[in-house]
């Protein structure tokens, strides 16, 4: 079962979280999400546990638990939506209204006045 862990303190290490969840059963994977640009934690992560009952017990016990002065959020992770991420676009392009330089009200007649 995949578990979402949010509101994590930025200084927490994966090994500390692993220890916390291992008290409930076998943790098959655990990952704190890191910002690519800063190399800093984004404040959330995911744990995967092999046994659903153990995972549900961990969720029940750890949700709202205080770690380093923050109450963490622990819940079942929602499946990743297909196509949820927008594709990365590079390059320039013209900004403004409808891809032009800007909005020229006079070019659309008097109906907008």
Mean pLDDT taken over the chain: 84
Of the chain, the percentage scoring pLDDT greater than 90 comes to 69
42-68 confidence digits (pLDDT tens): 999 999 999 999 999 999 999 999 999
Distance in angstroms (rounded) separating the CA atoms of residues 18 and 23: 9
Domains in the chain (CATH in brackets) are 2-76 (3.30.70.330)
Question: Does pTM top 0.85 for this prediction?
Answer: no
Distance in angstroms (rounded) separating the CA atoms of residues 110 and 105: 8
């Amino acid at each position: 079962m995949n578990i979402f862990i949010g509101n994590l303190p930025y200084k927490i290490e994966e090994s500390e979280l692993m220890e916390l969840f291992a008290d409930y059963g076998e943790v098959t994977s655990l990952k704190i999400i890191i910002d690519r640009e800063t190399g800093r934690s984004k404040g959330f992560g995911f744990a995967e546990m092999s046994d659903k009952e153990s995972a549900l017990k961990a969720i029940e016990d750890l949700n709202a638990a205080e770690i380093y002065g923050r109450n963490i959020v622990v819940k079942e992770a929602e499946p990743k939506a297909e196509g949820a991420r927008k594709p990365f676009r590079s390059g320039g392009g013209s900004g403004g209204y409808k891809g032009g330089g800007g909005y020229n009200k006079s070019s659309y007649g008097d109906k907008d006045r």
